[in-house]
Structure 1
Amino acid sequence: MATSEAERTVLAGWRFRAGRLYGRVRHHWECLVWRPISRYLPKRLYSRSLIIVIAPMIILQSVVTLVFMERHWQMVTQRLSTAVVRDIAAIIDLTETLPQSGGDYSQLSRIAQDRLDMKIDILPPEPLPPPGPKPFFSILDQALSEEIKDQINRPFWIDTVGDSKIVEVRIQLDHNVLRVFVRRNQAYASNSHIFLVWMVGTSLLLLGIAIPFLRNQVKPITQLAEAAESFGKGRPMPPDFRPRGAEEVRRAGHAFIQMRERIERQIEQRTAMLTGVSHDLRTILTRFKLQLALSGRKADVEALNQDVNDMQAMLEGYLSFARGEALEDPGRFDLAAYFDKLGDEAKLRKRKLTTTLAGATDIHVRPNAFGRLLSNLTGNAFRYAKNIDVKSTHTRGMLRVVIDDDGPGIPADKREEVFKPFVRLDNARNLDSSGTGLGLSIARDIARGHGGDIWLEDSPLGGLRVILRVPA
């Protein structure tokens, strides 16, 4: 029993060490290898799909080419060189053993040319030319040199450099120099490039088929992403969108269409419900006002009128909230014209307003909803501050609006809470006798309906900074 416990303890220790080692290796791999490489890898699905297709093909061809060069090409060249050197050795034996009449080697030359497809010359004894520069990569030069050393074992000089179809070989004999001209394809596998041409040509043909096929498979995914992005920005679905492509992509497309329809129905039902409830309550409020007008006690009438006005303001907030969720067709919104209106409003309210516009002033949003969004944000600034600074930056399809003021601000721990419906903070900027606590809720709802958001920070002016970012 004790032995079993000891074995389990040792095994657990080895597992712990192996896990730590694996974690370290994985961490170093990600930090030193994968992260630097991933910076240069493409980010789009189409490019990555091409890499998935092309990379294995290139690796496979590289391995096949290497094996072919090392095995087949070198082996064939070695055998051809062996045969050529064997023929040269036979000519040398004939030259030295058979008597020649007065140095006449014409018969030997004729036999070598007719039977061996070589041209030979017997030169007078003279030093061999100096060795030429060796080519960087030449299987023929290496194979011929080795075979001449093995079979003939005499001083020699060969010239295989260049694109000439003839290879020159000189052998130092006892009393002469044998010069042999051999066609390159007799000693060299010169048709190997055909294999490479076929391999590369086939690869290009396969890529020519694979690239359009991949494009057609990736295109439905891209269209689905664009449709989802348009829905997130509150824009209508692209007119040419329909589920297509592979079965999984079609299922995702149908699921997206059904989800969009369910969300739109839910929004329409809730909007209709809020509108109906507000309409019914308005009717009751109208009766209250009529009864108060007929009542005789003035003090009671004033108090009840104040309550009715508060209820009226709340109903207006309900309706504004309902209108904020209603779907509206996107259109053109002119920021420059809106900022001009802000300037007029600042003069009426006797506020100091500074505006800055950078980038395009025309944006593509839901105009009425976006105007209500900006009105809610700037209205709070006008109500609680004396100096307001509004900056708009429109670059790379993103609109950023920053509103700074010198008002009382909102505590950092309350900034997220003020976006909840009907929340009013004591001693805060959204406390107002006619306020309902829906202004920032409606603003964020509209911003998120456009695919953006709103958040609050401290302002350099001493008050609150409101940052709005929406795709436009």
Structure 2
Amino acid sequence: MAIFDAIRRDQDKPPANAYKRVTRWIRRRLPTGLFARSLLIIIVPILILQTVVAFVFMERHWQTVTQRLSSSVTQEIAAIIDIIETYPHEADYGELVRIVEDNLGMRISVEPGEKLPAPRPKPFFSLLDQTLTSEITRQIGRPFWIDTVGNSRLLEIRIQLEGEILRVFVNRNRAYAANSHIFIVWMVGTSLVLIIMSTLFLRGQIRPILALAQAAESFGKGQKSPEDFSPRGADEVRRAGLAFILMRERIERQMEQRTAMLTGVSHDLRTILTRFKLQLALAGDNPELDNLNKDVEDMQTMLEGYMAFARGEAEEDVGEVLLSDVLEKVAADFTLHGKEMTWKIDGDDRVKVRPNAFARLIGNLASNSRRYAKRLEVDARHSAKWLTVTFDDDGPGIPEEVRDDVFKPFYRLDEARNLDSSGTGLGLAIARDIARSHGGNVTLGDSPLGGLRATVRIPA
């Protein structure tokens, strides 16, 4: 009824718009999985073919066979009536009854002075009743009464003669194609076998695609792909699986090369910075060198931050972490700095993430609030599919036009934000990098406390 309501609502609208609405309504109710859709592609044509074949069989073959059988039975009854009227017997019809039963397989009786009973209610659907009635009316043309509903094996036919009633009992299968259900049983049974075979075959073809999707999803979350993953299935699926493996190897190799290069650069720069520090230490206490010492420390801090951002903690394995433990550590840090932090968890406390990276993600976002705000509220919601952690503070916030820019490495807001010496412009960049390596993201918005709202959303 819902689809008809949708059609009625669109009657006054352009046909193209109505067509789009109807197709959209149907599309929303179709299965979205590849396995279910593939089954529909196989099952729907089979059902349509069965329906057409069954309709043609019922309408043509079954009706034709039943009509011919009923016509033959009616002809035999007409012959019996003709014999009775041509050769009347004053005593009984014993010899005629014997001949009919031996040669025609019918049982008859002639009942003088009887009348036809009241007509029986017609069955809702009976091809035999309709066909036999039509043939008796056409060939015999006398008042009659038939019972096709009573005894399932026999048909009773009564014909009104001159002052008497002819009662005929005949087997149902002589006037009706009673074995037609065998055809339907064979057709349905064969279709079920084909559907079962198709289902098993499709499961075998879909399984490699699901394995490829799981491996790609694990790699997108920064997790290790299943060890038993290997390209299987049809040639196209094998090619897609092999392309994924090659892509994963190239990405991992690029990450290893980048990490190795940055490790070498870090080692060289640290050597130079250590030499600077040694030379400054040997120079003794000189107020003029204080600024130079501070610049060296800032360079080392920025170098460490850049290295951490470039590594991205990608080599860490996935493990279980208690959200409460991570948030309690952050709350303790707030208390140490004289700030207020409250938190709550809705759902399971355990999450599967890369422990150190996740702790750093939470720490970076909380530290921004600790620097610029006095109060922070953290709301963690862990559902079956997503982990969402919301940070609301009462700080100055970030203008909407630069909220995308603050995720760029080394991006700093204006000096009015009073950045401390530990700020490198990498905190939010590292946070978003970690969230995306888990398959999620970090977004910024307005907080109901008047400051900034940071939302972390990663797959559970």
TM-score, with structure 1 as normaliser: 0.92
In the other structure, the counterpart of 1:62 is: 51
In the other structure, the counterpart of 2:20 is: 30
What is the letter of the counterpart of residue 366 of structure 2?
T
Q: 1:9-408 maps to which residues of 2 (within 5 A)?
A: 25-31=15-21, 33-100=22-89, 102-162=90-150, 164-295=152-283, 298-408=286-396
Instruction: Indicate conservation of the 8 Å contact 2:444/2:454, yes or no.
Output: yes
Instruction: Indicate conservation of the 8 Å contact 2:364/2:431, yes or no.
Output: yes
For residues 163 and 103 of structure 1, what CA distance do their matches in structure 2 show?
A: 31
Q: Deviations over 1:269-320 (max 9, x none)?
A: 1122222212211111111122222336823311211211211111111121
What is the letter of the counterpart of residue 377 of structure 1?
L
Structure 2 portions without partners, runs of 5+ = 1-12
For residues 289 and 75 of structure 2, what CA distance do their matches in structure 1 show?
A: 129
Q: Which moved more, 1:271-280 or 1:250-259?
A: 271-280
Instruction: Indicate conservation of the 8 Å contact 2:440/2:458, yes or no.
Output: yes
For residues 104 and 425 of structure 1, what CA distance do their matches in structure 2 show?
A: 122
Instruction: Indicate conservation of the 8 Å contact 1:271/1:325, yes or no.
Output: no
Instruction: Indicate conservation of the 8 Å contact 1:271/1:326, yes or no.
Output: no
Paired-residue identity, %: 61
Q: Deviations over 1:392-443 (max 9, x none)?
A: 1111131110001011110000000000001001157583333111111111
For residues 210 and 150 of structure 2, what CA distance do their matches in structure 1 show?
A: 53
Post-superposition offset of 1:106? 0.8
Post-superposition offset of 1:162? 4.3
What is the letter of the counterpart of residue 67 of structure 1?
V
| Distance change >3 Å, CA 156–CA 238, structure 1 → 2 | same
For residues 55 and 332 of structure 2, what CA distance do their matches in structure 1 show?
A: 78
Instruction: Indicate conservation of the 8 Å contact 1:170/1:180, yes or no.
Output: yes
Post-superposition offset of 1:34? 1.8
Q: Deviations over 1:313-344 (max 9, x none)?
A: 11111121133253211111111111221221
Post-superposition offset of 1:361? 1.2
Q: CA RMSD in A?
A: 1.5
* Equivalences, count: 448
For residues 238 and 461 of structure 1, what CA distance do their matches in structure 2 show?
A: 44
For residues 159 and 136 of structure 1, what CA distance do their matches in structure 2 show?
A: 14
Partner SS for 1:103: coil
In the other structure, the counterpart of 1:7 is: none
For residues 163 and 77 of structure 2, what CA distance do their matches in structure 1 show?
A: 17
For residues 235 and 178 of structure 1, what CA distance do their matches in structure 2 show?
A: 89
Q: Deviations over 1:49-76 (max 9, x none)?
A: 1111111101100000000000000000
TM-score, with structure 2 as normaliser: 0.94
| Distance change >3 Å, CA 163–CA 380, structure 1 → 2 | farther
Partner SS for 1:350: coil
Post-superposition offset of 1:261? 0.7
For residues 334 and 276 of structure 1, what CA distance do their matches in structure 2 show?
A: 35
Instruction: Indicate conservation of the 8 Å contact 1:274/1:318, yes or no.
Output: no
In the other structure, the counterpart of 2:7 is: none
| Distance change >3 Å, CA 467–CA 303, structure 1 → 2 | same
